[in-house]
Amino acid sequence: MPELPEVEVSRLGIAPHVEGRTITKVSIHQGQLRWPVSEQVYELGGKIIESVSRRAKYLLLHTDEGAVILHLGMSGHLRVVPINEPLKKHDHVVFEFDNGLSLRLNDSRRFGACLWQELDSLHSVFSKLGPEPLTDDFDANWLFTKSRNKKQPIKQFLMDNQVVVGVGNIYANESLFKAGINPKREAGKVSLARYQKLTPIIKETLAAAIEQGGTTLKDFAQSDGKPGYFAQQLLVYGRKGQPCVECQSELTEIRLGGRSTVYCKRCQR
């Protein structure tokens, strides 16, 4: 599943091509994604995309009446291509613009979304989200306070979008390794001092992934079709049985919350 850095890279990739442009046509080739495509999306011809923003793993295309909310689901991606380029299989939602380009949401598994948020309102998908990890609202005191009396493993705690958005499986693995914290440790038993070490590591790990183009998963490509470059620098994720880069011990893989979790038994306590 594309994680926060991949979604942010998609935002950076599409924004220069659609911001300030007028939508000339909207084509819905498959209206049933995770939820039905919102009716308002069908009527956006003539509207100008004022800006493109991101909240958690959602992208928002802002107009003067509201915003299109896009979610990539498990296998979705966005492409900016000429209007006359033939459709690909699973190109479900297509926005055409006055500059001769089109923005296409391709989603083979149809777990993505194309919704509508009215101006000056908050869609229900955003109602319970925690802070953005790259903002000042996310800090060690926030994590420490939220974690008190929590018995769930620290890794699952970090992946809870009500605690902090966008710290998905890959980057939770990586951040906990860098901070030396065992992913199985109860969140409520992690000290403030350790959260003070962990929080900047999460921020740095996500920022580095965004800068380097996102981690390429098998179903993900950037909007221009080029793969990301951060995957080659992963320290634990996907490295089960390989030597730890710090102590050379064999890395262990377990399942937490149904997700692959790789860590070093010697370095992470």
**Residue of 34, 203, 240, 259 with catalytic role:** 259
**Residue of 2, 5, 153, 183 with catalytic role:** 2
Q: Which two tokens stand for residue 113?
A: 């979304």
77 is in an annotated binding site: no
Q: Establish whether 259 is a catalytic residue.
A: yes
CB 207 within 8 A of CB 172: no
Output the DSSP codes for the chain: ---HHHHHHHHHHHHHHHTTPBEEEEEES--BSSSBPPGGGGG-TT-B--EEEEETTEEEEE-SSEEEEEE-TTT-EEEEEETTSPPPTTEEEEEEETTSEEEEEE-SS---EEEEEETT---GGGTT----TTSTT--HHHHHHHHTT--SBHHHHHT-TTTSSS--HHHHHHHHHHHT--TTSBGGGS-HHHHHHHHHHHHHHHHHHHHTT-PPPTT---TTS---SSGGG-SSTT-TTSBPTTT-PBPEEEEETTEEEEE-TTT--
Q: Establish whether 200 is a catalytic residue.
A: no
89 is in an annotated binding site: no
150 is in an annotated binding site: yes
Q: Establish whether 19 is a catalytic residue.
A: no
**Residue of 11, 47, 57, 79 with catalytic role:** 57
Q: Establish whether 2 is a catalytic residue.
A: yes
**Residue of 3, 6, 96, 174 with catalytic role:** 3
**Residues assigned a catalytic role:** 2-3, 57, 259
Which residues are documented as binding site? 90, 109, 150
Which residues are documented as binding site for DNA? 90, 109, 150
